[in-house]
Structures are given as C-alpha cells and as structure tokens.
A and B are shown apart, each in its own frame.
Chain A
Amino acid sequence: MKSLFRTRVGMTAGDGILMIFIVILSATLFVLIPRWVLSSGKELEIRAGDKVVGRYSFNTDRLIDVSGPLGTTSVVIKDGRARICSSPCPHKICRDMGDIGLEGGLLVCVPNKVIVTVTRERSDGLDAVTR
C-alpha cells in the first residue's frame, strides 16, 4: 500500500499543453457555438408526420410537393411568403390559413399530417415572440 502513496502526481509537459488547449478550446466554443447555432438564417421547415421533409429558403420562389397519407399537399413559396396552395383534405382549412413569412407562423394540414413552420432560430436577440 505504501507504494501507492509514493506514486508521483505529476503531469508531463504534453499533459499540461493538452489540458490548457482543451480549456481554451472549450472557452472559445462557449462563445462561438451559441452564436453560430442561433444565427443561422431563418428558413421554412416542412414536416410530414414526424419527419422533416426539408428546409427551404424564403428567397427563392418554388413549389414543394409533400406527400401525406391522403395524397400530395403543395406548398408554394413566392416573394418571401409561404402558403399551402392545394391539399387533398376535405375542408381545405390549411389552404385558407393564408401565408407565413420570416416573422414566423404555422400552417398545418391536419388530415394530411403536413406541418409548415419557420425554423425558430432567431438572430435579433429575442428568445421568442408570442402573438
């Protein structure tokens, strides 16, 4: 047991450099990562059921077809606004929900399980906006 207590509690130069490097790296990442994660530009996120179909920029006009259990729901992005332009659901509530843009919002077609949201990352320093 004596030999155990006589073991040197020393670090080599390599150990010290490694530890200092890790501490500096994590301190840097503490500052950089939240900024990077939260500042990614806002995009339109389309989900079908549980899975994300894709994320699309508001800058390019395009038509996205999403397939759900009832058929194909079409989402259109035009002039920085997104809306559901056609859906096989019976009441067409989603089509009448209007459009959403960079300010955020939600378009849902419940029967066809399509959810259109704006990714929630914000770069303006606000955590969330309620409306």
Chain B
Amino acid sequence: MTDRVVKLARLALLLGLATVIHTAEAFLPITFVWFRFGFANIIGLATLELFGFKDAVFITLGRIFLGSVAYGLFGSPVFILSLSGGTCAILAMGIIYSFGTRIFSEIGISVTGAVAHNMAQLAVAYFLLVRNEGILVLLPVLLLAAAATGFINGLAARFFVKQFRSLEEKQIHSVNR
C-alpha cells in the first residue's frame, strides 16, 4: 500500500516538474532559440527508466495537456504539433529502451526520441498545416538539432536518474535504521 502511495507521489512530482519545464520553455525568446530544446523530455526519459513505459506515456501526455492549458494554446496548431511530437518521441524511446541500456544509453534513447519528435512534427506540419514541399528543406536542419538537443537531454536525464536513485537509497537506509 505505502509503495503505491510513494509511487503516486513521485509520479505526481515528476508530472509537475515536467509541466513546469514544458511551460517555462515556451517563454524562451524565439529570436535566440528557434527550435525547442525539449528539456521536458528529460523528465519523460527519467520516468521511462524509473517507472516504466506506461507511466512515461502518462507523464508525457499529461505535461503536454497541462502545459498547453497553462500557456493558453490548448487545441491550437502549436498544441497539435507538441502532442504529435511528444507521443512519437515517447513511443520511439519506449521501443529503443526495450533493447536494454547496454546497447543504447540514455543519450541514444534521448537522441532517438528527439529525432522522432522532430520528424513527427515536420510530418504533421506538412500534412496538416503548410502543405508545401518547401518545409522539407528544414528536415536535415531539424535532424542535426535533434541530435544536439538529444545529446544534452540524455546526459541530463542520466544525472537525474542517478541522483533520484541515490536519494531513494538514502531514504531506504534511513527508514531501516
């Protein structure tokens, strides 16, 4: 029973953290950052490692819904883009993660997620919004951006998971004592 309560509390914290990061990132000035770093995906990836695929999907979808409500773009094209990107990213990361972290570490998983995110967004932007082959010119740029941001986020997720686990261990020790 307590295990489940602890898990619920931790998932709620992760969801809150992911939502805040997701929302805060939307306020970055677009003149400097014309692509999104996807820092919120750090939490998604950490959840995937700590709690498994199902909860990671829940956290990702939750932060997209809550985040878009927070900055008032729920149901807009921006929301559709971030929903499609987030869903594809978490699905791709779940698949890659199922191969085990021996082959792909957090960095590889995160890069895969970022690439899936950007490709899904580009596909949705092409089929739903722009309908002009011109935006496909962005594809290589987006791929490179995904590799770079994915690398950074992967490292961050590794630190996050490591820290989370060590805190968890400390807690267990103090409880046992």
Contact = CB atoms under 8 A, between A and B. Distances in A.
Interface of A: 3-4, 7, 9-15, 18-19, 22-23, 25-30, 33-34, 37, 40, 52, 121
Interface residues on B, range: 20 to 34
A19 B134 contact: no
B133 interface: yes
Contacts of A12: 101-105, 108
B119 to A, nearest CB: 11
A25 B141 CA distance: 11
Given A18-B112, A121-B133, 14 more contacts: A4-B159, A9-B155, A13-B103, A14-B108, A15-B107, A18-B111, A19-B147, A22-B147, A26-B147, A27-B140, A29-B143, A34-B137, A37-B134, A52-B131
B140 A29 contact: yes
A26 B144 contact: yes
B143 A22 contact: yes
Contacts of B102: 12
Contacts of A37: 133-134, 136-137
A28 B140 CA distance: 8
A12 to B, nearest CB: 5
Please classify the interface of chain A as helix (H, G, I), strand (E, B), loop, or mixed, using the class held by over half of its residues.
Answer: helix
A11 B111 CA distance: 12
A121 B132 CA distance: 11
A26 B163 contact: no
B151 interface: yes
B108 A3 contact: no
Interface string B102-120: 1111011001100100000
Contacts, number: 73
Nearest to A40: B133
B104 A4 contact: no
A26 B140 contact: yes
Interface in B85-114: 101-105, 107-108, 111-112
B59 interface: no
Nearest to B158: A7
A26 B111 CA distance: 14
B7 interface: no
Contacts of B140: 25-30, 33
A17 to B, nearest CB: 9
Contacts of B36: none
A8 B134 CA distance: 42
Nearest to B167: A3
Contacts of B166: 3
A18 B109 CA distance: 10
Contacts of B133: 37, 40, 121
A18 B99 CA distance: 14
Contacts of A3: 162-163, 166
